[in-house]
Structure 1
Amino acid sequence: MQDTPRFEYTGPEELRVPITRALQRVVDPEVALSILDVGLVYAVTLTEDKAHVLMTMTSAACPVTDLIIDDVQAELDPVIPPHMKIVVEICWEPPWGPERMSPHARQLMQW
């Protein structure tokens, strides 16, 4: 996880590592890499009643978007306090680019 691209995090510090580990377990099945290694997560913001994940896909035509969103919610559910709603938002700005990938992912993909 050390060479994984960082995402913006706003929330209690004690939840940063559990959230990061949970997101690291979510795999983009098209490339068989963690969504963090691919660089799909832009930000995680925790408020009093919500955990908001802002992320993107490698393309607007990604056929596994719903699967990835479901996996994000499933992995975060055990680590997010039960009173908080998990909201995953897909955005297209800024667009994803291979520079968002971790060095490990770029090496595996030979980029």
Structure 2
Amino acid sequence: MRRLKEIYRYMLFRLFGRKSRKVGWALFAPLKIFPEYIVDTENGQVTGLVMYDEKVYLTVVVDVLNEKTSVKGSLRRIHKFTKPFKKHNYIEMIEEEAKFLLEDKCPNE
């Protein structure tokens, strides 16, 4: 089906010079479980913890200076509370917040 859509769009472009509009989408949903952050300004690291009932399910350590991210854990046991967000959504959120937190804490560097 996807291949047919691509052929259809190509034919429209070739015959009539019409380009398809680039349409995207965004996910807006209430975030039920918020990550907690531990900021280490000396080493340039931020640790994000995804917790539920005082138990850590996902730990994301972002080394902003070296641009490395390490992930430990999963959200399988709490997936009904994190829907529609998945593990990669939390990782991206923590990475972006880590950059912001370290820029805010260390404006001279």
Q: TM-score, normalised by structure 2?
A: 0.31
Using CA pairs under 8 Å that are at least 6 residues apart, name the structure with larger relative contact order, 1 or 2: 1
Larger radius of gyration: 2
Q: TM-score, normalised by structure 1?
A: 0.31
Greater fraction of residues in strand = 2
